Amino acid sequence: MQKVTLEIDGLKVSVEEGKSVLDAAKKAGVPIPTLCYHDELEPFGACRFCMVEIIRGNRKRLVASCVYPAEDGLVVRTNTDRVKEIRRMIIELLLPLAPAGPLRELARRYGVKRSRFESEDMQPTHCTLCGMCVRYCSEVVKYDAVSFVGRGVSKAVALTPEAQDQCVFCRKCYTICEAGRFPMLAEEYSV
Amino acid sequence: MRRLASREELEKLREELRGKMEKIERWVAVCSGPGCHVHGSGEVAQAFLKEVEAQGLGDKVKVRATGCHGFCEVGPVAVIFPERYCYTRIRVEDVPRIVSTTLKEGEVVEDLLYVDETTGKKVLRDEDIPYYKFQHRLLLGQHLEIDPEDIGDYIAAGGYSALAKALFDMKPEEIIEEVKAARLRGRGGGGFPAGIKWETTRNAPGDPKYVIVNADEGDPGAYMDRGILEGNPHSVLEGLIIGAIAIGSPQGFVYVRQEYPIAVKNMQRAIDQAREIGLLGENILGSDFSFDVKIHMGAGAFVSGESSALMTAIEGKVGEPRPKYIRTAVKGVWDKPSNLNNVETWANVPLIINNGAKWYTTIGTDNSKGTKIFSLVGKVKNTGLVEVPMGVTLRKIIFDIGGGIRGNKKFKAVQTGGPSGGVIPESLLGIAVDYDELDQVGSMMGSGGMIVMDEDTCMVDVARYYVNFLSDESCGKCVPCREGLRQASRILERICAGKGKEGDIELLEELGSFMRDASLCALGRTAANPVLSTIKYFRGEYEAHILEGKCPAKVCKELISYFIDPARCKACGQCVRVCPVDAISGGKGLVHIIDQDKCVRCGSCFAVCPDKFRAVVKLSGEPVPEVAPGTKIRKKAKGEKKCRK
Ligand SMILES: Cc1cc2nc3c(=O)[nH]c(=O)nc-3n(C[C@H](O)[C@H](O)[C@H](O)COP(=O)(O)O)c2cc1C
Ligand code: SF4
Ligand code: FES
């Protein structure tokens, strides 16, 4: 396997071609925070919390590190002002949906005192649509007992009634969910 | 028709077809495009066929139901050749006269001619109608010569000669060079150079490679691609086959929304006919090149038009954009190199191959070559499909071709680029329409939607409309787009309802730049354009909503009141009868009064108040004057002029 060498926050690191910038950062010991990434699952690229700035020549670009391939000579900055602004905005946007999960701790860490989007008429769904449950079921268990339904702002996670007899009761979906949605969902469907 | 085993056989067939045409003295192109169809062109075309038979002209006259001519506003339209006499708003009853007068005798039916509004004169030929005169109809012009259901018409008009040239006179690399030299840019949105994309796909490792037509056309109100697929499917197919030769692809797809049944039907027929005579399938025209095409029908979601989402859909999965930073030209359908181009992009290819890059680059601006079709809709007088050389000004399109604004209203803005395009104000009407200029002013070419707005349009309401459209049409996968749109929509709804807060404009701007930087695909990255461009050019209007509780265009329901002007009310009682909540009081001879607490602002009274009175007026941001119950209506004073502004 061919190796590529890149520079992350000043540290040089070599990884196999095909690895992501996030993989490389892990190897270099540079922490990049993530919300929808999971070791056992394909990178999903949906939360955008792992965004970093990459520099090629004199061009700067913001990319999601969990899906951006590590390239030879790439210069990566994981903590620029813009990157932090983006993370803060993601926290603010997700807080009204899942106020109880790990987001509060992240908010503290990033100095988000209050989300400008929290309001009384927005009921929390306790779901950030990170898709961990859906993806675990389809990628690891290889069933589709949990799936996404709808699109746009109506997108949600649902148990697939027709697929319930496939469910092997591994219960991973309960524990993989960090935002608190899953146990409630299961209750709604009384499984 | 027989299978063509060589280029010579194609040419022989063409001669035969043309020979048959020579016996025809006159022919009529009855537009059957989407616009004319709605106006009843189907019956008109049938009537022509019947009448020509009835008057015994069957072997001298040919009737063609063709694709869209462009001038949908005055449909059904028909053009009679060789004179090019153009008749508009034809009814079935007019057909016998047209047949006996024009098709038989070559005389004009005067009352069916188009009347030029500015000169008041009748115009004989289609090309002299102002709407067409300023256009350059390289693609749409072909529609007039072709029955889209008949491959023979396309061949007689010179069709598939570019394919033969590409197949026998050019190497694949030379085809790519020609397209590159023509500087053809993608007509579906981004304006990416087609030749460079072809080259990337050709050079990418992996087989087979795929070539794909994007006919998702998800922009509300736009129908350029539909117009071409319905009217001239072979031009798209020929372009696609040439692309396949250049790229080295054995398999193509046409991704078309299922809401376009006629486009699907005509394209399928075109594919079948081409296959039958050996222009598709094994050993095309006797060469060693083989290629075939399948139609893939999509559910017509806006996001499915995005390239990676479209490819995922072709694989049979839910059409969601992929997060990978690898171009579909390198890894597309089933991870194979896949070249996607828009309908109109493909339709330009045969022209370039036949006439050469040198000719093609004489049309357009420095960085945008050729023509572009726009679907001109909204508050212009002449709506329809408009094909102009790149670089004409917006003013020319809207005023010279579009005829200006309907109903003596004032122009306010034009929205280009589809739901994630931007609005452009009057001060910028002088810009040349090409990819770069539109980008620069905060809008984009997009696929060619052009919606004209008049003074009665509220720009906050416009932003709200597009944001709500995109909230429903985004795939909902990534946080910036989904949650950004959700919150932008809430803020805009709030502003339109008169509950905007100081800081809302800045928050919208912040959200917009975040979505642009952080979203996964181009939908989210451009979704804030309608918001950002309306703020940029009409900030005062946002401020009026938030700070003064006023909707300057008097559109936002929560911010307007209806009021009956006592000086104009003639007590006709019509408003009293239509008000759904009985909010209007007043009897014979008495000024009618709206009870503001009861009024639900449905606007029924405003609509029904006779034009000659116009007593019901809309107010916004000002108190509603008190009128004492029992006030008598004002009698017209002597010598009072009837006019009002
Ligand atoms: C949300 C979204 C919707 C799109 N819809 C269409 C469409 O309906 N038709 C189209 O040709 N391109 C559409 N595009 C652009 C395509 O992704 C792609 O760039 C284009 O088809 C490439 O062809 P071209 O280079 O010939 O324009 C869309 C892009 C996005 C982001
Ligand atoms: S930007 Fe919008 S449409 Fe694109 S992936 Fe994200 S949610 Fe889906
Ligand atoms: S971890 Fe969610 S997008 Fe990368």
Q: What is the pLDDT of residue B636?
A: 61
pLDDT tens track for B192-244: 999 999 999 999 999 999 999 999 998 888 999 999 999 999 999 999 999 99
Which residues in chain A have their CB less than 8 angstroms from residue B318's CB? 148
Question: pLDDT tier at B645 (50, 70, 90 boundaries)?
Answer: very low
CA distance B74 to B94: 15
Question: Which three-class secondary structure state does DSSP give residue B491?
Answer: helix
* Per-domain residue ranges of chain B: 7-133, 152-360, 371-454, 459-547, 557-620
The three-state secondary structure class of B459 is: helix
Q: How does strand B251-257 pair with strand B210-215?
A: parallel
- Is B299 touching A (CB cutoff 8 A)? no
Residue B71: pLDDT band with limits 50, 70, 90: very high
Q: How far apart are alpha carbons A47 and A106 in whole angstroms?
A: 14
Cβ within 8 Å, pair B479-A128: yes
Q: Tell whether ligand 2 has an atom less than 6 A from the beta carbon of residue B481.
A: yes
| Residues in the ligand 3 pocket, defined by CB under 6 Å | A 34-37, 44-50, 64, 66
**B243-289 residue pLDDT tens:** 999 999 999 999 999 999 999 999 999 999 999 999 999 999 999 99
Per-residue pLDDT averaged across B501-509, rounded?
Answer: 97
Chain B contact set for A56 (CB, 8 A):
none
Angle between helices B504-518 and A81-94 (to 10 degrees): 110
Transcribe B259-311 into DSSP letters. Answer: T-HHHHHHHHHHHHHHHHTTSSBSSGGGSS--BEEEEEEE---GGGGSHHHHH
- Residue B55: its pLDDT value, please? 94
Q: Which ligand is nearest to the CA of A87?
A: 3
Cα–Cα distance for residue pair B249/B329, rounded to 1 Å? 12
Ligand 1 site, residue B308, Cβ cutoff 6 A: no
Residue B181 has pLDDT above 80, yes or no: yes
Give the list of residues 6+ apart from residue A83 with CB closer than 8 angstroms, or none. Answer: A51, A52, A53, A62, A77
Cβ of B518 within 8 Å of Cβ of A46? The answer is no
In the prediction, which pLDDT does B225 show? 96
| Higher per-residue pLDDT: B290 or A57 | B290
* Residue B301 in contact with ligand 2 by CB distance below 6 A: no
For residue B269, the one-letter residue type is R
CATH number of B371-454: 3.10.20.600
Q: Which CATH architecture has domain B7-133?
A: 3-Layer(aba) Sandwich (3.40)
Residues 478 through 517 of chain B touching chain A, CB cutoff 8 Å: 478-480, 482-487, 489-490, 507, 510-511, 514, 517
Ligand nearest to the CA of B482: 2
**Chosen from A36, A93, A127 to mutate, greatest number of chain B CBs within 10 A:** A93
Q: Would you list the domain boundaries of chain A?
A: 3-77, 80-124, 132-189
Task: Compute CA distances B393 → B134, B223, B408, B431, whole Å.
Answer: 11, 21, 22, 5
Residues 6+ apart with CB under 8 A from B493: B464
Is residue B642 scored above 60 in pLDDT? Answer: no
pLDDT of the residue at A173:
82
Residues present in chain A in total: 191
| Cross-strand bridge partners of residue B65 | B30
- Give me the mean pLDDT over the B413-424 stretch: 93
- Given this model, what pLDDT does residue A143 score? 87
State the Cα angle at B374 between B28 and B70, rounded to 5°. Answer: 15
pLDDT, tens digit, for every residue of A14-57?
999 999 999 999 999 999 999 999 999 999 999 999 999 999 88
B305 lines ligand 2 (CB under 6 A): no
What fold does the segment set A3-77 form as a domain? Ubiquitin-like (UB roll) (3.10.20)
pLDDT tens across A107-165, in order?
999 999 999 999 888 889 999 999 999 999 999 988 888 889 999 999 999 887 777 77
- C-alpha–C-alpha distance, residues B438 and B446, integer Å: 9
The answer to whether domain B7-133 and domain B152-360 are alike in fold is no
At residue A130, the pLDDT reads 94
Residue nearest to atom 18 of ligand 1 (CA): B307
What's the gap in Å between B319 CA and the centre of ligand 1?
13
The conformational region for residue A98 under phi > 0 = left, psi -120 to 50 = alpha, else beta, is beta
> Which residues is B81 bridged to in the sheet?
B27
pLDDT at B14: 97
The predicted-structure confidence for B105-139, as pLDDT tens digits, reads as follows 999 999 999 999 889 999 999 999 999 999 999 99
Q: What is the mean pLDDT of chain B?
A: 94
Q: What interhelical angle do B343-360 and B172-182 show, nearest 10? A: 80
Residue A180 has pLDDT above 80, yes or no: no
* Strands (DSSP E) found in B369-444: 371-378, 384-389, 411-416, 422-425
Instruction: Quickly state the pLDDT bin for B8 (edges 50, 70, 90).
Output: very high
Chain B residue numbers touching A150 (CB-CB < 8 A): 476
Of A46, A116, A129, the CB nearest to B520: A46
Buried b (16+ CB within 10 A) or exposed e, B386-408: bbbbbbbbbbbbbbbbbbbbeee
Average pLDDT over residues B17-46: 92
- The pLDDT tens digits for B354-370 are 999 999 999 999 999 99
Q: Which of A68, A89, A118 to mutate to test the interface with B (most CBs of B within 10 A)?
A: A89
Task: List B residues 520-539 in contact with A (Cβ-Cβ < 8 A).
Answer: 520
Q: B311-320, B335-344, B453-462: which range is least confident on average?
A: B311-320
Pick the CATH number of B459-547 from 3.90.550.10, 1.20.1440.230, 3.60.15.10, 3.40.50.300: 1.20.1440.230
| Residues near A174 by beta carbon (within 8 Å), at least 6 away in sequence | A182, A183, A186
Say which CATH topology domain B152-360 has: Rossmann fold (3.40.50)
What pLDDT score does B372 carry? 96
| Binary contact (A48, B519; C-beta < 8 A) | yes
Residue B644 above 60 pLDDT?
A: no
What is the longest distance spanned by two Cα atoms in chain B?
91
Q: What is the pLDDT of residues B561-578, one digit of tens each?
A: 999 999 999 999 999 999
Strand (E) or helix (H) holding B133? helix B130-133
- Cβ contact B480–A48 (<8 Å): yes
Q: What local confidence, expressed as pLDDT, does residue A150 receive?
A: 92
- The third-level CATH classification (topology) of the domain covering B557-620 is Alpha-Beta Plaits (3.30.70)
pLDDT tens digits, one per residue of B140-176: 999 999 999 999 999 999 999 999 999 999 999 999 9
CB contact under 8 A, B473 and A48: no
> Between chains, do A62 and B518 touch, taking CB under 8 Å as contact?
yes
